[in-house]
Amino acid sequence: MNPPGDETGVAAVLEKELSSYGMTVEECVAAPKRVNLISVLKGSENRHAFLFNGHMDTVSEGDHSKWTEEPFEGVVKGDLIFGRGAADMKGALAAITVGLGGLVHAGVTLHGDVIFHAVADEEVDSIYGTRFLVGKGLARADMGIVAEGSVNGNKITIRPAIRGNCWIRLKTYGKAAHASNPKHGINAVLKMSKLLLALHDLQFEADIHPVLPPATISPGTVIKGGASTNVIPDLCESEVDVRLTPGMTKEYVIGRFENVMKTIAASDPEFRATLEVFAYVPPAELTATSSVLSIAKKAAQVVVGYEPAFSGGFGTNDSVHLIHTARVPVIPGFGPADSELGNAHAPDENVSVSNLMSFAKIYALSVLYALGYEARR
């Protein structure tokens, strides 16, 4: 679970399986217990490479009593596998692994390398995961797939874009005084309340994206203020979650927030506030003509009989680091988890066995189309 984070067990299972295919497997340890696996299926040429990316960490199971199935036993019922991480995203790791095994057992000779990054720390901030590998110069490929879920109500789609996030810490300042005589103080919590309510009503002037949800502001997701019931608080801190669509920047968000603060200060001379960005990941998207999108559509058409439509998701993921920093055009989301039925991050998380098998085939075909191959004679 992350936090605190420990990917060693999952890494050991994947390493054993991938090594059995004859793939080279290297552990890249970013910190104690924070393991990344870099696996390579070598081709006859090393001029081209196709990258798969998926994360090994999961969130906590939460309230155990709300699960109808044991969260860490991988219970199979009908076409579903239940367990924490089944959808997000151990199912996708399994589908990639099975797909690569299929290529090996088929005996094809690829005209390029397949690289599989099974990474740590995606659920927090990727410091020990994809960001770490990118910083080390280890994420190099011509194209690829981040295998985050893209199934909606058992219908496979492709997510060509991803929202970014900007996390902001606000501070409001007051004046401490005895709570029995509040007029001698300035209540920083009340000033923060005024600011959070104003941010709740703030609207961004951003273009509507063709597949992604609009940009959002969630003020007051964390709030801290006051030290004692009988003391007027002189400091309040709060955090705000902002989700950005392509074209938006953190500078734009900061500017809009500062305008709100100036407006409040103009009518309230006792209002004092500051802000800082403590985490930022930009949005990312592929162009509609990107070759990896065409390859994924073609592979899916062959396997499931229809061409996947484009869809959007609410969160962000590691694709932003690959697209922006490593400059690898990856599909931000193309994987077996179902956003409507899979209960990711919730009790009774699950993934469909049928979708796992479909994606194992789709991933293998995508590699064949992307790299080219020679069949066994």
Per residue in 236-264, pLDDT (tens digit) is 999 999 999 999 999 999 999 999 999 99
330 and 323 in contact (C-beta within 8 Å)? yes
130 and 122 in contact (C-beta within 8 Å)? yes
| Cα separation, 122 vs 129, whole angstroms | 7
For residue 282, give both structure tokens. Answer: 């930009």
| Cα separation, 190 vs 315, whole angstroms | 31
Q: How confident is the model at residue 376 (pLDDT cuts 50, 70, 90)?
A: confident
Terminal Cα-to-Cα distance of the chain (whole angstroms):
46
Residues 6+ apart with CB under 8 A from 123: 2, 55, 57, 58, 59
Fold classification of 164-281 is Alpha-Beta Plaits (3.30.70)
Neighbours of 181 (CB within 10 A): 9
pTM for the full model?
0.93
Of the candidates 144, 192, 64, the one whose C-alpha atom is nearest the C-alpha of residue 328 is: 144
Of the candidates 357, 326, 377, the one whose C-alpha atom is nearest the C-alpha of residue 134 is: 326
Residue 206 confidence (pLDDT)? 84
242 and 215 in contact (C-beta within 8 Å)? yes
Length of the chain: 377
Q: How confident is the model at residue 11 (pLDDT cuts 50, 70, 90)?
A: very high
What are the boundaries of each domain within the chain? 8-162+283-374, 164-281
For the domain 8-162+283-374, what is the CATH code?
A: 3.40.630.10
Q: Is pLDDT above 90 for 45? A: no
